[in-house]
Amino acid sequence: MKTRQQESRRVQRLQCAVHNYDWGLPASASRVASLHGLNSRVSVDPRKPYAELWMGTHDSGPSFLDSNKGLGDSNRVAALTSLKSWVLQNPGVLGDKVLENWGCDLPFLFKVLSVGKALSIQAHPDKELAAILHRTHPNIYKDANHKPEMALAITDFEALCGFISLEELKDVVSSVPEVGELIGSSNKDRILHFNVKDGQEKFKPLLHEVFTKLMSADKDIVAEVISKVKNRLQSQNKVNLLTDKELLVLRLEEQFPGDVGVISAFFFNYVRLKPGEALYIGANEPHAYLSGECIECMATSDNVVRAGLTPKLLDVQTLCSMLTYKQGYPEILEGISVNPFTKRYIPPFDEFEVDHCGLPQGGSTAFPAVPGPSIFLVMAGQGTMRTDISEEIIAEGDVFFAPADCEIQLTAKTELQIYRAGINSNFFL
């Protein structure tokens, strides 16, 4: 009979939560849907969009230990223990330094996203603001944590992220008359005459003022202006090729007609990731995912402040007041090879990093023991996962929690694609 200590050192198979948000992909085209069906062993609903698979301990979508695989569905669900409660009972699985720094909970939330249409123009608050928002509006802002995040593309993936440079913004206000109409001729002139040599820091107050004016504009006026943009670009498209950003604006207008987020897209960097490229987003940075599928990891939080491209509650004044107004194209991570099969993506956040392991048929590799917990997702293929005390047959859709100080040996029966989320390696240095 295994002791409680031995059980706490085993990898734990997880049953994970799914979210059917409106912006998700149809079940037939969604990686989230297929993974969810395999992970939970239930049929997906072809009538629903499938948007996010959550792997972690957040109360809005907790994972459960799937230790009763042989039971019928109703008995199994009734018998499941949440990963969060199991960690509370076995805090040593987090490792001493993680426990000391973040307490008795998993500090990261691991996800798969299937994006069929644009998510909201949004930002995530830093810890100080998150605590205030949670205290004053707990029904909207569900926790008091910050939410730095990273998206690792598994298909071609599109996003808006951060403000364009001053040079690009000058071009926008001079070439997109509708932007000038919303921000006013005085603000347009101030941008055009601002000396680039004066630097980004001096420009931030003006960008803050102009962007707030744009996002706070009267809805009827915004709808009228966006109609003008649409008509102008459609006419222009018959004679000249439109830019990628202009084509995107037309696409956003189809998805969210009359929404101020359509025209605000001119202010943001249009980022297109290839599979294997990653984008990280810090606190108080504006962004919106647009299309494609990705692995996402973040601090354990679900705090989102929205200001456009959504039917959900908007909090324009909070968003405009919280942004950093940093300009320039975001850094794209391509991963660092840690062995012939594995790349590691390390954002500048303590809470998490992500590994991608592509293992050929018959191949083997090891994930060395680390002083913090990990979650493994089998994206594709079949094989085995071994530790010093157990062996698991693994296949697409399987998700596992691995305790701290647990070495993982993988062997591929067919080509394996594995993603791992864990504490940022730099945290332990």
Q: Locate 236 and state its tokens.
A: 């222009």
Check whether 83 has a pLDDT greater than 80.
Answer: yes
pLDDT digits (tens, 9 = 90+) for 377-415: 999 999 999 999 889 999 999 999 999 999 999 999 999
8-state DSSP, 24: B
The residue-averaged pLDDT of 340-356 equals: 97
pLDDT of res. 5: 58
Residues in binding site? 122, 124, 149, 287
User: Rounded mean pLDDT of 142-167?
Assistant: 94
Q: Write the DSSP symbol of residue 340.
A: T
Classify residue 26 as exposed, middle or buried by CB count within 10 Å of its CB (0-12, 13-18, 19+): middle
pTM attached to this predicted model:
0.93
How high is the pLDDT of residue 1?
A: 40
CA dihedral 11, 15, 20, 26 (to 10 degrees): 80
Those residues whose C-beta lies under 8 Å from the C-beta of residue 2, and which sit 6 or more positions away, are: none
pLDDT tens-digit series, residues 292-347: 999 999 998 888 899 988 888 889 999 999 999 999 999 999 999 999 999 999 99
Unique residue bearing structure tokens 């295994």: 2
Report how far apart, in Å, the C-alpha atoms of 53 and of each of 24, 46, 109 are. 11, 16, 10
381's torsion region: left (phi>0), alpha (psi -120 to 50) or beta? left
For 220-227, what is the mean pLDDT?
Answer: 96
DSSP structural state of residue 8: H
Annotated binding site for Zn(2+), which residues?
A: 122, 124, 149, 287
**H helical segments located in 256-309:** 260-264
> Domains in the chain, please, with CATH?
161-333 (1.10.441.10), 351-428 (2.60.120.10)
Enumerate residues 6+ apart whose C-beta is below 8 A from 280: 148, 149, 150, 151, 330, 331, 333, 347, 348, 349
For residues 123 and 283, what is the distance between their CA atoms, to the nearest angstrom?
A: 7
Q: Determine what percent of the chain is predicted with pLDDT higher than 90.
A: 83
Angle between helices 185-192 and 166-175 (to 10 degrees): 140
Please name which of 402, 362, 367, 401 lies closest in space to residue 382, comparing C-alpha atoms: 362
Q: How far apart are CA 69 and CA 330, in angstroms?
A: 44
Q: Which two tokens stand for residue 297?
A: 């990891």
Q: What is the pLDDT of residue 197?
A: 83
Residue 223 in this model has a pLDDT that exceeds 70: yes
> Which of 306, 344, 386, 420 is an active site residue?
306
The rounded distance, in Å, linking the Cα atoms of 377 and 396 is 8
Q: Please tell me the predicted confidence (pLDDT) of residue 69.
A: 47
Q: What percent of the chain shows pLDDT beyond 70?
A: 95
Q: What is the pLDDT of residue 260?
A: 95
28-70 residue pLDDT tens:
999 999 999 999 999 999 999 999 999 999 999 999 998 744 3
DSSP string, 65-107: E---TTS-HHHHHHH-EEHHHHHHH-GGGG-HHHHHHH-SS-S
Confidence of residue 76 (pLDDT cuts 50, 70, 90): very low
Count of positions (residues) in the chain: 429
pLDDT band at residue 79 using 50, 70 and 90 as cut-offs:
low
Model confidence at 7: pLDDT above 90: no
Residue 306 annotated among the catalytic residues of the structure: yes
User: Could you tell me the pLDDT band of residue 73, with boundaries at 50, 70 and 90?
Assistant: very low
Position 94 pLDDT exceeds 90: yes
Do the beta carbons of residue 370 and residue 412 sit within 8 Å?
no
Would you state the pLDDT for residue 143? Answer: 83
pLDDT, the chain, mean: 93
